[in-house]
Amino acid sequence: MFDVINQGFQWFTGLGSNGILCVALLIIGLVLGLKVGDAIRSALTATVGFIGLNLIVDMLIAQMSPATMAMVERMHWNLDVVDIGWGLMGMAWGQPASGMVIIALIATNIALIFLNFTKTLDVDFWNYWSFAASAALIYGATQNAVFAVAAACIYMAVSLKWADIVAPKYQEFYGIPGCSWPTGAIIAPAMIGIPVVKLLQKIPVIKDIKADPETMERRMGIFGEPIVIGAVLGMLIGIVAGYDVRKIMLLGFNMAAVMILLPRMIQIMMEGLISISDQAKIFTGKYMKGREVWIGIDASTIMGNPATMSSILIMTPVVTFMSIIPGNRMLATASLVAVPWFIIGITAYAKENILHICLAAMVVFAIYFWCATAMAGAHTEIAKIVGSELPEGTSLISSLSEGGNPITFIMYKILDLLGFVKF
């Protein structure tokens, strides 16, 4: 039975994040009472915006990853844990407990809504992989399906609750009512980064430094505009990577494009989401005694803020340099594709202050590096269990996003202290 469910879910996830979003929004719109035409129009409009957003994010990653790899090669760094980045995703869905995990996650979300533990209905099925990844790592460590399922459900519960806590702030800041952002990849970074930001906002001198895009544009003129900031940061990264003049200029042009096009795609997506959000309010007022239910959507929908984008461009090479911090054994390479998701959840609380965002992000990444190193054994074991081939000459693998998630690490350490870890 679990194999059949797992195969069905894998077919559904095979639609990709774009297809899943369209189907999920269409079904939700119809369930909430939108007319068929309006539901189709809203789902398609939101999906078109999301496709555009993903294309631009893919371009960002495609441009930044080679530049950062070039920096690594120039510095001749070599650490013994190999970074496989989002390779953990395949292990998350391929683990023996995945069928049980899928059922448990859906049931957990529904149960927690009816128990008033959360307001969030997480329709972002694509990003269930984060919770499944936690289960995979725990399974790799313990080879126990019950612990794996429990880990996924605990991670989801924490994510849903945290999404509820920050949703009002995000809704107001980004102008997206009726939604929340339970994407696992941003939850733990936000849980760490937001308190750090609040601390920075109380430290003399640092708290008074104005580094938001509006202030920078006012003081620096054209050089403070997002499009120019993107171009300049892109060119600086190209210079550090050792690129020739032509490639430096092209990297700058592409980063300028990212800074402008990403917010435009989010505006298109908003057109589709707002009608569904408005209908959700009508539905809950009629059938749930006015109780709020928020639609949980992908966190990339709030990525387009200029301060977020500037911080991503700054932090991508910085993360590579942070690989040499004491206690870390993994060189960040493949995981650089996940840098944006470490930044997204911090911006609103940092009031767009790029300095505060980057300082907080450094703390977040340091913790993730240490957790990723500690979880390398579990990471390697689940790879062996699902039959993934390790890179030649490699004895340990890990990753930052999910592989270094502190929530999973805490559960792993508890199980280790209780004697359930197998290695």
- For every residue of 300-315, DSSP letters joined together read GGG---HHHHHHHHHH
- Bigger pLDDT: 78 or 183? 183
Encode pLDDT of 64-100 as tens digits. Answer: 767 767 776 776 677 888 888 878 888 887 888 887 8
Residue 19, Cβ neighbours under 10 Å: how many? 15
Say if residues 332 and 318 touch (Cβ distance below 8 Å): no
Residue 267, Cβ neighbours under 10 Å: how many? 11
| 162 pLDDT more than 90 | yes
- Looking at residues 258-262, what average pLDDT do you find? 75
pLDDT at 391: 67
Question: Structure tokens of 314?
Answer: 């700054």
Checking DSSP bridges between strand 396-398 and strand 81-83, what pairing results, if any?
parallel
- Bigger pLDDT: 102 or 355? 355
Computed over every residue of the chain, the mean pLDDT equals 85
pLDDT at 285: 67
Residue 60, Cβ neighbours under 10 Å: how many? 26
CA 48 to chain centre: 20
Task: Supply the angle between the helices 354-374 and 184-200 in degrees, to the nearest 10.
Answer: 130
Q: Indicate the residue type of 295.
A: I
| 403 pLDDT more than 60 | yes
| 2 pLDDT more than 60 | no
pTM (2 d.p.):
0.82
If you compute the radius of gyration of the chain from its CA atoms, what whole number of angstroms results?
A: 21
In this structure, is the dihedral angle defined by the CA atoms of residues 108, 110, 111 and 113, taken in order, positive or negative? positive
Encode pLDDT of 348-371 as tens digits. Answer: 999 999 999 999 999 999 999 999
Cα–Cα distance between 11 and 141 in angstroms, integer?
28
Q: Of all residues in the chain, what percent carry a pLDDT higher than 70?
A: 90
Cα–Cα distance between 354 and 370 in angstroms, integer?
24
